[in-house]
Structure 1
């Protein structure tokens, strides 16, 4: 976008253009409200498999992660066993979590992150990033594979994996996503929704602010448009320092 070439108009012309855009914005908002209602109306599926997670408070079952609430939001965070650090794009998502958590709790929602890395590796990276939200390990369980965010070497070797409800190439063993669960009064857990690919932008409030500005996201037209994203403690790295690849955000 070239700021010095942008059209400049009178106040009257600007107001007319802004009112026209406002009508379009309100139309899209109404459509988004309708889509949210359709999302809430989706059928649920019971989670019958027993998943055990390693947490700071010891081993916990999925039903115990709700922390006394009836709704659970899970960020599938790309941090695999032995990784030096988490995915920069997943970290960009997680940077929003601590600010949201107190408000989500008021609406009967628990938000946490799940990664396949062992808990000690998760805690090491969490301390570096200064995050406070709950983050548990699914190491040794089928949870990541069953919810479509971890792939075996054999699956990757075929050139395609099942991700975002279709067969596609994916460049890593771990993938991003968000899953939603509900727990009833009897303690039964149901899976209500999962979103992947660009669906994870729902956690990226900073993107929504960028979208309001003249330059927008200023991303290059490349397959991995989040190549610019760094861990929040790495933006001021010295010139020439190689940053970790922003590995996870598929634009579809």
Structure 2
């Protein structure tokens, strides 16, 4: 790290100059959010039925009486015993937000193709409190372009590209009106979901930033697989 060392007045001047750019970004983000909310919707005509821990669950059921639903397309394939590390990293950010979302007319659910017994075992291991259902018996993952047959090219993130796997991450948003009709309002994939990762927001404030060369795979682990962190003495210990 070779940052310049300056006096306080220079530090404040540089910080204020950068603050102008931060405010521009904030205003642009607000503008994009309004444009996103104004995008057209498509009606969901398929009656998706999932497998939940207590039996069959429809897409409508996942709204849990609310009008808005955020779905995490969680990478956990049919024969997987644990979920994708990156998807797990995102899921770690959900529990704290869930009560706030639920009290603001938003429900959340994760959906994967793994059998529900594998999902439940992993969910309990991770200590997560959000609904998570299996789409292994329906076309949901394929319809929303996050699961694929093994092939050279796939349609993902609104373009065709080469990919030899079967699962990729994403999020989808749905709205249910007073008549029970469901609409698909938004989907995002790949780095489009980074704003869900509050840890990244914090790391971007740090002098070393994200400190990674190959993305999450450089350092992120399932939260129960990190080496034990040595306790640091604090002022009240």
1:170 pairs with one of 140, 152, 163? 163
2:225 matched residue in structure 1: 234
Structure 2 CA distance, aligned partners of 1:162 and 1:101? Answer: 31
2:138 pairs with one of 137, 141, 145? 141
The secondary structure found in structure 2 opposite 1:93 is helix
Could you list the runs of 4 or more consecutive aligned residues of structure 1 that deviate by over 6 angstroms after TM superposition? none
2:110 pairs with one of 105, 113, 121? 113
Matches within 5 A, 1:1-252: 2=1, 5-153=2-150, 156=151, 159-220=152-213, 222=214, 224-236=215-227
Structure 1 CA distance, aligned partners of 2:116 and 2:79? Answer: 11
> What are the ranges of 5 or more consecutive residues in structure 2 without an aligned counterpart?
229-237
> What are the ranges of 5 or more consecutive residues in structure 1 without an aligned counterpart?
238-252
Count of residues in correspondence between the two structures: 228
Q: Deviations over 1:62-89 (max 9, x none)?
A: 1111000000000000001111211000
When normalised by structure 1's length, the TM-score is 0.88
Q: Which moved more, 1:228-237 or 1:100-109?
A: 228-237
RMSD after superposition: 1.2
When normalised by structure 2's length, the TM-score is 0.93
Structure 2 CA distance, aligned partners of 1:192 and 1:218? Answer: 35
Q: CA deviation at 1:122?
A: 0.1
Residues 163 and 31 of structure 1: is their aligned pair in 2 closer, same or farther, counting only changes over 3 Å?
same
The secondary structure found in structure 1 opposite 2:109 is strand
